[in-house]
């Protein structure tokens, strides 16, 4: 059985001491495709370095709403996007992301967040790549942008999707994929309705490691091995075998990220 971890952060400093060991370990455990997501220019560069080093790792490049330098005129600051654009062209960069809106951590700069989100969707459209969306406490503005302001031509995915049925309904209607992480396993989570709302051909699984370790290992540093717990939870809810969840999410991710299976 093989798994595709569609969103990880092996570019995070929490992996600085044993990055290569853990990557080899999770590959041997059957996690044979991994996307490492950038969230600012530096982390995007590191994601590309990992993608160059390991054939089974792919990168995304983007500036997340939580990584906008404070107190500047960003994203009118031209250098930020000028630095990002050439990175996003790299052949192993499979999407622009993670990008989006986060009103949980940042309420003060909503207009700038929206502007940066739109500019990065334009970048993805110019490069014919999908987008990886981070949306937290910003459902209506996220949907409004994707529905009414700018179309993501190559589609994309709501990563670590909030357990919000309305958001998922709208996202699926717009053709987006939905990616679930360890948070669906949390004791307090009620993911059933949300998961049942997503058609099988639109589901992805991820860890968002080193963060969001599933319930059984909660509080520990997360890694791609634990994506199996996410797959198991989906299997339980959808009354499927875990093998089937592994296979469909693998194929979905390859299709969305345009990865040729060889």
| Nearest distance from C-beta of residue 181 to Ni ion, angstroms | 9
Phi-psi category of residue 38: left, alpha or beta, with phi > 0 → left and psi -120 to 50 → alpha = beta
Nearer residue to Ni ion within complex by CB, 14 or 169: 14
| Nearest distance from C-beta of residue 35 to Ni ion, angstroms | 10
Residue ranges in 94-153 that form contacts with Ni ion under rule CB under 5 A: none
Nearer residue to Ni ion within complex by CB, 141 or 208: 208
| Nearest distance from C-beta of residue 87 to Ni ion, angstroms | 17
The answer to whether residues 15 and 210 touch, using CB atoms and an 8 Å cutoff, is: yes
| Nearest distance from C-beta of residue 76 to Ni ion, angstroms | 25
Total residue count of the chain as it appears in this document = 262
Q: Is the peptide bond before 210 cis (omega within 30 degrees of 0)?
A: yes
Nearer residue to Ni ion within complex by CB, 3 or 39: 39
| Nearest distance from C-beta of residue 239 to Ni ion, angstroms | 29
Nearer residue to Ni ion within complex by CB, 200 or 222: 222
Nearer residue to Ni ion within complex by CB, 44 or 73: 44
Euclidean distance between CA atoms 107 and 57, whole angstroms: 34
Euclidean distance between CA atoms 261 and 170, whole angstroms: 30
Rg value, the chain, Cα: 17
Say how many C-beta atoms besides its own lie within 10 A of residue 50's C-beta: 21
Euclidean distance between CA atoms 134 and 131, whole angstroms: 10
Binding mask 182-211 for Ni ion (x = CB under 5 A): --------------------------x---
Residues that bind Ni ion (CB under 5 A): 208
């Amino acid at each position: 059985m093989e798994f595709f971890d569609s969103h990880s952060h092996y570019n995070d400093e929490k992996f600085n001491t044993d990055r290569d060991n853990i990557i080899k370990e999770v590959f041997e455990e059957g996690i044979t495709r991994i996307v490492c997501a950038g969230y600012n220019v530096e982390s995007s560069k590191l994601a590309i370095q990992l993608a160059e080093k390991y054939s089974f790792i792919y990168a995304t490049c983007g500036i997340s709403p939580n990584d906008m330098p404070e107190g500047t005129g960003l994203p009118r600051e031209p250098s930020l996007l000028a630095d990002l654009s050439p990175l996003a062209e790299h052949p192993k960069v499979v999407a622009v992301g993670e990008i989006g809106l986060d009103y949980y951590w940042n309420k003060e700069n909503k207009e700038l967040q929206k502007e940066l989100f739109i500019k990065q969707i334009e970048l993805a459209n110019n490069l014919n790549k999908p987008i990886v969306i981070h949306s937290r406490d910003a459902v209506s503005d996220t949907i409004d942008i994707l529905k009414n302001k700018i179309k993501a031509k190559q589609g994309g995915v709501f990563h670590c999707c909030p357990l919000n049925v309305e958001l998922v309904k709208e996202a699926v209607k717009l053709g987006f994929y939905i990616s679930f992480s360890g948070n669906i396993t949390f004791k307090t989570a009620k993911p059933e309705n949300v998961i049942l709302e997503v058609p099988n051909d639109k589901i992805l699984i991820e860890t968002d490691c080193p963060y969001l370790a599933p319930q059984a290992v909660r509080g520990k540093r997360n890694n791609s091995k634990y994506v199996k717990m996410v797959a198991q939870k989906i299997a339980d809810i959808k009354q499927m075998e875990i093998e089937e969840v592994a296979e469909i999410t693998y194929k979905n991710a390859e299709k969305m990220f345009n990865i040729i299976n060889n």
